[in-house]
Amino acid sequence: MKNYLIHDEWKIIEEGFHPENNRISESIFSLGNGRKGGRGNFEEKYSGSTLPGNYIAGVYYPDKTRVGWWKNGYPEYFAKVLNAANWIGINVSVDGEELDLAKMLIESFRRELNMQEGTLSRTFIASFKNGKKVKVTSIRFLSIVTPEIGAIQYSVEPLNFDGKIKLTPFVDFDVQNEDSNYDEKFWVGEYIENIGNEGYLTAHTKKTKFLACSGMKYNVQLDGKEHAVQIANNSREKYIESTFEIKAKQNQVVRLFKYGVNTSSEYFSKSKLAFEAKEILNNAFETGFDQLLKEHRAAWAVKWENSDIQIESDVAAQQGIRFNIFQLNQTYTGEDERLNVGPKGFTGEKYGGTTYWDTEAYCLPFFLATAPQKVSKNLLIYRYKHLQKAIENAEKLGFKNGAALYPMVTINGEECHNEWEITFEEIHRNGAIAYAIYDYIRFTGDKEYLAPYGFEVLLALSRFWSQRVNWSEHKNKYVLLGVTGPNEYENNVNNNFHTSNMAVWTLKYTLEAIQYLKESHKDLYYKLCAENGFNEEDETNKWDDIIANMYYAWDNERKIFLQQDGFLDKELLPASQINPAERPISQHWSWDRILRSPYIKQADVLQSLYWFEEKYDKEFIERHFDFYEPITVHESSLSSCVHTVLAAKIGRPEKAYEMYLRTARLDLDDYNSDTEDGLHITSMGGTWLAFVIGLGGMRVLKDQLHFDPILPKGWSAYSFKINFRGAHLKIKVSDNKVRISNLSDEKINLSVNDKSITLIGHSIEVI
Ligand code: BGC
């Protein structure tokens, strides 16, 4: 765990240069706008440890799978969102000496992410070996108004000398993914233009043939006045630069405004890509830095208006929750149904920018409650559009009749992960995709989503489960063999409770959906049956049988569901007995030892209890929590959010708070020693749900919102905002009081601490 960032309500601040933490900071200070993003790398050259990273949404490369022994069914490739052109680069030299923070004496370094405004800034004083000192300040942003645009204001001031400041803004497409399986470069350069203060490069990806164009245009000021410079331009394959030198007197500020553009064939026709890039870049250039920034800030203000959470009297917690919200909003805007939320978003290479069950299980609630309905609907449509590929994916494994197995990892609907156990066995993800449909409809009331989108997906999922189970003569029950539950620290287990539970629940929910469609959309329903070759009676008879006769491992002594058949054979020692120096165990123990241990990576049985809590009473949940929580090591970032919700539910506010803090500051404090790989973006959705569902006690029951909040010790108050079916609500919780403001015109009935209230438009109720 690290603690080098300054606590502040709206900013993330690194004061003093921490080269040993630079990769962590690069992740934390990442910027994104839903369409592209990049790590908080320095603009100027840095020869210390760094992971340069700029990523374009949806542009990927299928990197050929690397395994020891090939097995039938292995995915051919692991999809990677590519490291794309470095557009931020500005090399600096002063009287012939290169500015490189790894080689200089650095004073008053400050790096700051302003979450309210969506900007990243830096200021430092650096001394060269010859004693010359310069002050550098920079501020940059990726516009959320014009997502192709990014802009940088970069200033150099000689502090104790008159000298020549040479600046070289560049765009470099000659970049590589650190995690490339075969050390390959994925971009092939095409077009180059580099004239005056403006330049463009296009490159296409090998195999996938995406085309991207990146360009720059700049202007220079000396002491706040436009300054004409003598330019020398250079280019080579996949690289352009423009160099000029300015004579500056002591304390004169040389300021470069660099505008970057990025267009891709995902949004523009290939033949016009460079042309469009030029148009957009020139418009931005004409608009100017200050105006672009003003519009960008205003757009962020709207985002915050809908999604901010305020915590009084706990700055660390306040910073934590805003950081999570900020990063989620930077990653996904919901405008494009082809995009999704990658576990690392635009902040690193790990997980390849692909989609996991994380989106449905952990991110959906945030977008449901804080963004327009189309945003969460697009997350569902993403999977609907991948249905055919999910059916093909299941066919490859021997399933038939339209059964679908969604990939554990995907970018285009195909499975693309190269770990056997995870890819094939974590089939519980199919349950999460069904649950997301339920969650969306429960929250929005949009039952029409079932016809046709939701129904077709549910049908294909149910067909999968009905073929994936088998009848055990021995148990006289249906069983689910050879699976991996959410707890990846056990593989190929039998009857993982969560997986079996999701299978049965999906069958039941599909039956309910069928009932609804028969009642409300009869013609469409029968049309869909015909199109999907669905013989309701034949197929649902088996579903009913599975629902009635599914086997769940159960411990009669403890009266708990077991995570899997063999769980009690393990030596059930609490995680508190693990030598702290050996944690996280994933980084210290052999895989063999982990698999045999009782330690649980993330909520597994508890995941099901969280999703279906209304089925169980408090004592039942408590028994499971008390059994599983002490052996859970939370080595997946997706664990503590579920534990927060359940701890709050069973009346353990301190535990809920402990778990909440762990998820909220996971990356800021580098809890799992892995923030350098990138941020845990999807677990940030988990943080939000830990807050609002856990601490805020929000539930939607029978079409109505309920709140049963707790106030953690040390907080005097907190508040959050929710969009619910046209109403916009602010819920403020303070000592013994809950204050609900209806900020919209809509009338809404809700329940607070079991008390029913009706709020007409623009009114406040205190309970
Ligand atoms: C977790 C999975 C998750 C994946 C991507 C893994 O560490 O165990 O549940 O889907 O990370 O976030």
* pLDDT tens per residue, range 451-485: 989 999 999 999 999 999 999 999 999 999 999 99
Give the C-alpha separation, 663 to 251, whole Å. Answer: 45
Is 487 touching ligand 1 by the criterion CB < 6 Å? no
**Best residue for ligand 1 mutational test, from 356, 640, 680 (most atoms within 8 Å of Cβ):** 356
Is 358 touching ligand 1 by the criterion CB < 6 Å? yes
In sequence order, what are the beta bridge partners of 752?
A: 707, 755
| Model pLDDT, residue 353 | 83
DSSP 352: G
Q: What angle do CA 186, 191, 192 make, to 5 degrees?
A: 110
Give the C-alpha separation, 166 to 99, whole Å. Answer: 10
Give the C-alpha separation, 108 to 93, whole Å. Answer: 20
Mean local confidence (pLDDT), 107-136 = 97
**Best residue for ligand 1 mutational test, from 357, 423, 636, 687 (most atoms within 8 Å of Cβ):** 636
Write the pLDDT tens digit of every residue in 150-200.
Answer: 999 999 999 999 999 999 999 999 999 998 888 899 999 999 999 999 999
Give the C-alpha separation, 453 to 522, whole Å. Answer: 15
Residue with tokens 């449901």: 368
Mean local confidence (pLDDT), 261-267 = 97
| Model pLDDT, residue 68 | 80
Is 603 touching ligand 1 by the criterion CB < 6 Å? no
Residue with tokens 């003093």: 16
φ, ψ for residue 218 (rounded to 5)? Answer: -145, 165
Mean local confidence (pLDDT), 491-508 = 98
Amino acid at 145: V
Is 354 touching ligand 1 by the criterion CB < 6 Å? no
Q: Are strands 704-707 and 748-752 parallel, antiparallel or unpaired?
A: parallel
DSSP 253: P
| Model pLDDT, residue 179 | 87
User: Which residues neighbour 468 within 8 Å (Cβ) at sequence distance 6 or greater?
Assistant: 399, 427, 480, 503
**Best residue for ligand 1 mutational test, from 606, 635, 638, 671 (most atoms within 8 Å of Cβ):** 638
Q: Which atom of ligand 1 is nearest to the CA of 487?
A: 8
Greatest C-alpha distance within the chain: 89
Write the pLDDT tens digit of every residue in 708-757.
Answer: 999 998 899 999 999 999 999 999 999 889 999 999 999 999 999 999 99
Give the C-alpha separation, 240 to 373, whole Å. Answer: 42
Is 638 touching ligand 1 by the criterion CB < 6 Å? yes
Residue of the CA atom closest to atom 11 of ligand 1? 636
Q: Are strands 704-707 and 699-701 parallel, antiparallel or unpaired?
A: antiparallel
Write the pLDDT tens digit of every residue in 394-408.
Answer: 999 999 999 999 999
pLDDT band for position 75 (50/70/90)? confident
Write the pLDDT tens digit of every residue in 518-529.
Answer: 999 999 999 999
3-state secondary structure of 440: helix
3-state secondary structure of 394: helix
Write the pLDDT tens digit of every residue in 547-591.
Answer: 999 999 999 999 999 999 999 999 999 999 999 999 999 999 999
| Model pLDDT, residue 70 | 81
User: What CA–CA distances, in Å, run from 417 to 59, 168, 346?
Assistant: 17, 40, 19
Residue of the CA atom closest to atom 8 of ligand 1? 636
pLDDT band for position 662 (50/70/90)? confident
Residue of the CA atom closest to atom 12 of ligand 1? 343
* Parts of the chain belonging to CATH 2.70.98.40: 30-305
Write the pLDDT tens digit of every residue in 601-617.
Answer: 999 999 999 999 999 99
Topology of 30-305 in CATH? Beta-galactosidase; Chain A, domain 5 (2.70.98)
User: What CA–CA distances, in Å, run from 88 to 141, 171, 215, 365?
Assistant: 10, 7, 10, 34
Residue of the CA atom closest to atom 1 of ligand 1? 636
Within 10 angstroms of residue 242's Cβ, the number of other Cβ atoms is 25
Which has the minimum average pLDDT: 684-688, 696-700, 705-709, 735-739?
Answer: 735-739
Q: Which of 465, 439, 468, 469 is nearest to 454 (CA)?
A: 439
Question: Of residues 420 and 355, which shows the higher confidence score?
Answer: 355
Give the C-alpha separation, 655 to 643, whole Å. Answer: 8
- Mean of the per-residue pLDDT values for the chain? 96
pLDDT band for position 352 (50/70/90)? confident
Is pLDDT above 80 for 6?
yes
What strands lie across the sheet with 31-32, from one edge to the other?
Answer: 31-32, 36-38, 54-64, 77-83
Write the pLDDT tens digit of every residue in 302-345.
Answer: 999 999 999 998 999 999 999 999 999 999 999 999 999 999 99
Give the C-alpha separation, 691 to 720, whole Å. Answer: 9
SS3 content of the chain, % helix, strand, coil (to 5): 35, 25, 35
Q: Which atom of ligand 1 is nearest to the CA of 408?
A: 10
Is pLDDT above 80 for 703?
yes
Indicate the CATH number of 386-552 among 3.40.462.10, 2.130.10.10, 1.10.10.10, 1.50.10.10: 1.50.10.10
Tokens of 410: 């995907």
Ligand 1 centroid from CA 601, angstroms: 10
Is 356 touching ligand 1 by the criterion CB < 6 Å? yes
Amino acid at 135: K
Question: Could you tell me what percent of the chain has a pLDDT over 70?
Answer: 100
* Parts of the chain belonging to CATH 1.50.10.10: 319-360+565-695, 386-552
Q: Which atom of ligand 1 is nearest to the CA of 636?
A: 7
Is 731 touching ligand 1 by the criterion CB < 6 Å? no
What strands lie across the sheet with 239-248, from one edge to the other?
Answer: 97-98, 90-94, 163-172, 239-248, 232-236
Mean local confidence (pLDDT), 19-30 = 97
Ligand 1 centroid from CA 635, angstroms: 10
Q: Which atom of ligand 1 is nearest to the CA of 358?
A: 10
Give the C-alpha separation, 346 to 333, whole Å. Answer: 13
Q: Which atom of ligand 1 is nearest to the CA of 683?
A: 12
Q: Which of 328, 306, 312 is nearest to 118 (CA)?
A: 328
Give the C-alpha separation, 8 to 5, whole Å. Answer: 9
User: Which residues neighbour 553 within 8 Å (Cβ) at sequence distance 6 or greater?
Assistant: 495, 497, 561, 562, 563, 564, 565, 567
Q: Which atom of ligand 1 is nearest to the CA of 635?
A: 7
Is pLDDT above 90 for 513?
yes
Residue of the CA atom closest to atom 6 of ligand 1? 636
Q: Which of 760, 723, 732 is nearest to 745 (CA)?
A: 760
| Model pLDDT, residue 717 | 97
Tokens of 8: 């502040």
User: What CA–CA distances, in Å, run from 591 to 423, 594, 595?
Assistant: 17, 5, 6
**Alpha-carbon torsion, ordered 283, 289, 292, 295, to 10 deg:** -160
Q: Which residues are catalytic?
A: 488
Ligand 1 centroid from CA 632, angstroms: 15
Ligand 1 centroid from CA 618, angstroms: 28
Predicted structure pTM score? 0.96
| Model pLDDT, residue 673 | 86
State the DSSP string of 542-574. Answer: HHHHHHHHB---EETTTTEE-SSTTGGGS----
Question: Of residues 637 and 266, which shows the higher confidence score?
Answer: 266
Give the C-alpha separation, 540 to 534, whole Å. Answer: 10
Give the C-alpha separation, 352 to 345, whole Å. Answer: 9
Is 682 touching ligand 1 by the criterion CB < 6 Å? yes
Is pLDDT above 80 for 418?
no
Pair 320, 661: CB distance under 8 Å: yes
Highest CATH level, class, for 319-360+565-695: mainly alpha
Is pLDDT above 90 for 422?
no
Ligand 1 centroid from CA 429, angstroms: 11
| Model pLDDT, residue 166 | 98
3-state secondary structure of 635: coil
Give the C-alpha separation, 175 to 85, whole Å. Answer: 7
